Amino acid sequence: MKILIIEDDPELSMILTSYLEKHGMEVVSAEDPYLGLSLLTQNAIDLVILDLTLPGMDGLEVVEKIRAESNVPIIISSARDDITDKVIGLERGADDYMPKPYDPRELVTRIKTILRRTGAAKEGKAAEEEAIFDVDIKGRVILFRGRPLDLTAAEFDVLSMLVQHKNGSVSREQLLYESEHIDDESSIKNIDVIISRIRHKIAQIDSDHVYIKPVRGVGYLLTDRV
């Protein structure tokens, strides 16, 4: 269980980290919201604990940015007692709102409750989600919604890496240098061209949804959350 804490109070962050780790949770933390968003794309995060009063970006905006890319559960942890903040936070996609101060024991209970609920929902959707992209590494074939995609060797390398890191971002550099069929001296821009061709082939089967999304400043993310 991996928790991301986005909190600009280092003392509180340290207290929460210590308490959660005693309950078997792995914790990564960030005082800066931009760093927090970056950590979310780089780690398999199970839940986010988010302060609202942050430097450079309001926490309510952070909720929006997370929801634009991920369904990870969010608990807002805030000293702001305006009911409007709570309502807006929940409307924008937060799963819970805890006004400070609170007992860390209650936080642990709420985390476990939310993860039980979301975990059951994920299991119920698992079969359908897994059927969207199916990679046969040995046969070098990728099925999309049960139909084989007509991919070049380089396109197969790139798409299979995105599927492997499903719902997590992959940098252009990783896509370039870990591909067996792309010349290491190729330009990073070649990845954008390959992604465009893959998108076009996917759209020939399903043009209603965008499955490969850009992650600004990083690379690309493949999602099956349609």
Do 160 and 184 lie in one domain? The reply is: yes
> Does residue 16 lie within any of the structural domains?
yes
Q: Is the pLDDT of residue 72 over 50?
A: yes
Whether residue 23 is contained in a domain is answered as: yes
| Domain containing residue 161 | 137-222
Claim: this prediction has a pTM higher than 0.85: no
Mapped to the 3 state alphabet, what secondary structure does 8-76 carry?
CCHHHHHHHHHHHHHCCCEEEEECCHHHHHHHHHHCCCCEEEECCCCCCCCHHHHHHHHHHHCCCCEEE
Flag whether 10 is in a domain.
yes
pLDDT digits (tens, 9 = 90+) for 90-116: 999 999 999 999 999 999 999 999 988
For the stretch 190-216, pLDDT in tens is 999 999 999 999 999 999 899 999 998
Residue 82 shares a structural domain with residue 33:
yes
Name the domain count of the chain: 2
Q: Are residues 58 and 160 in the same domain?
A: no
Confidence of residue 224 (pLDDT cuts 50, 70, 90): confident
